[in-house]
């Protein structure tokens, strides 16, 4: 039996980058400390802040929410955007509801099908890939909600393995706009954009998944039917996994160096923030991408409709 580094119990997880074997309890304690350190290191939000947590119902978002609620660092509102992707969305909504009720958390489900802006409807009317439409819609709704309900920050559950892949992929594509946007903290733009934070920025995916399983958290394990991983992403992921195996901790040092650079810069959009002519939130052109996209797909920009719904919930 391999013993826990801190006690006599049996270790259930090994963290190669920290050279630690840990029992269930000390693993949870370790992750909680890691979460608090990340929140403080990157000055994500102050103790007692009001934070919206975007929860898809997957292992990453339920782990983030559970750890944040255990830490007592923030007053949270769990928000799930129902994308109206058939059975997948039905299971996701139920999981988020069950998880929130079991943990006594305030939650809000934003139902896009009410406005005919479910992902399948939108995708049928355009040539854009479902995942890029979905990402844009979720970003819009969560930003609007955090702004309109007056919360201090929006937390999402992006973990380090994915962040490292996006950094390297954006570099290979020489997409510097994207590269500079990848950050543990994206600062607020008063009146236009909420502060966005990624408390799991330095977490490995295996830590997140092991925690969710060890603590029996309900999470959605079916994949979204639209999910598609391109060849470049698979290639970069494999490369980074190899690097991590050769040199445990490689990904976290990459993430930290990247954060040091990007946090001292602002993306072009944030340096010269503009307001969308239709909905008033942040935009790189005259109209934000959500309003522009819904105008093309449905004949009218939907930003203000969504914002009115949100304000009705306040």
In the complex, the residues that contact Zn ion under the rule CB under 5 A are: 4, 6-7, 9, 23, 26, 276, 278-279, 288, 291, 303
Alpha carbon 312 to chain centroid distance?
Answer: 25
Q: Is 93 in the site for ligand FES (CB under 6 A)?
A: no
Which does residue 131 bind out of Zn ion, ligand FES, none, counting CB within 5 to 8 angstroms by kind? Answer: ligand FES
Q: Is 57 in the site for ligand FES (CB under 6 A)?
A: no
Residues 201, 210: contact at Cβ < 8 Å? no
56, two tokens:
């898809």
If the CB atoms of residues 85 and 154 are measured against ligand FES, the closer one turns out to be 85
Which does residue 134 bind out of Zn ion, ligand FES, none, counting CB within 5 to 8 angstroms by kind? Answer: ligand FES
Could you tell me which stretch among 33-41, 59-67, 130-138, 252-260 binds ligand FES (CB under 6 A)? 130-138
Which does residue 226 bind out of ligand FES, Zn ion, none, counting CB within 5 to 8 angstroms by kind? Answer: ligand FES
Half-sphere exposure of 232 (CA within 13 A, CB side): 9
If the CB atoms of residues 89 and 267 are measured against ligand FES, the closer one turns out to be 89
Could you tell me which stretch among 16-24, 41-49, 142-150, 224-232 binds ligand FES (CB under 6 A)? 224-232
Q: Is 58 in the site for ligand FES (CB under 6 A)?
A: no
Could you tell me which stretch among 42-50, 71-79, 223-231, 300-308 binds ligand FES (CB under 6 A)? 223-231
Contact partners, residue 84, CB within 8 Å, separation at least 6: 111, 112, 113, 118, 119, 120, 121
Q: Is 226 in the site for ligand FES (CB under 6 A)?
A: yes
Q: Which of 18, 20, 109, 131 binds ligand FES (CB under 6 A)?
A: 131
Q: Is 20 in the site for ligand FES (CB under 6 A)?
A: no
Q: Is 90 in the site for ligand FES (CB under 6 A)?
A: no
Q: Is 199 in the site for ligand FES (CB under 6 A)?
A: no
């Amino acid at each position: 039996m391999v013993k826990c580094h801190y006690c006599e119990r049996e270790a259930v997880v090994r963290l190669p980058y920290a050279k630690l074997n840990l029992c269930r309890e000390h693993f949870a304690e370790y992750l909680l400390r890691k979460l608090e350190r990340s929140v403080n290191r990157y000055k994500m939000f102050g103790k007692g802040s009001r934070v919206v947590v975007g929860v898809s119902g997957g292992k990453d978002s339920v782990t983030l929410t559970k750890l944040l609620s255990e830490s007592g660092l923030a007053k949270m509102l769990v928000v799930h955007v129902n994308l109206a992707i058939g059975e997948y969305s039905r299971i996701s909504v139920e999981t988020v509801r069950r998880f929130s009720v079991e943990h006594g958390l305030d939650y809000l489900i934003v139902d896009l099908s009410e406005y005919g802006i479910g992902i399948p409807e939108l995708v049928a009317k355009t040539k854009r890939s479902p995942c890029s439409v979905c990402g844009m819609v979720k970003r819009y709704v969560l930003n609007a909600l955090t702004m309109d309900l007056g919360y201090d920050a929006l937390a999402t559950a992006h973990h380090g393995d994915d962040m490292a892949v996006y950094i390297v992929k954006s570099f290979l594509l020489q997409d510097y706009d994207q590269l500079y946007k990848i950050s543990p903290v994206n600062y607020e733009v008063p009146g236009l954009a909420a502060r966005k934070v990624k408390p799991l920025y330095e977490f490995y995916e295996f830590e997140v998944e092991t925690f969710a399983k060890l603590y029996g958290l309900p999470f959605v394990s079916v994949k979204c039917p639209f999910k598609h991983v391109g060849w470049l992403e698979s290639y970069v992921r494999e490369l980074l996994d190899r690097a991590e195996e050769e040199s445990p901790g490689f990904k976290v040092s990459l993430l930290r160096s990247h954060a040091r650079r990007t946090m001292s810069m602002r993306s072009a959009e944030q340096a010269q923030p503009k307001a969308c002519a239709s909905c008033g939130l942040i935009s790189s052109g005259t109209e934000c991408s959500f309003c522009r996209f819904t105008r093309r797909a449905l004949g009218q920009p939907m930003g203000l409709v969504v914002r009115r719904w949100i304000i009705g919930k306040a």
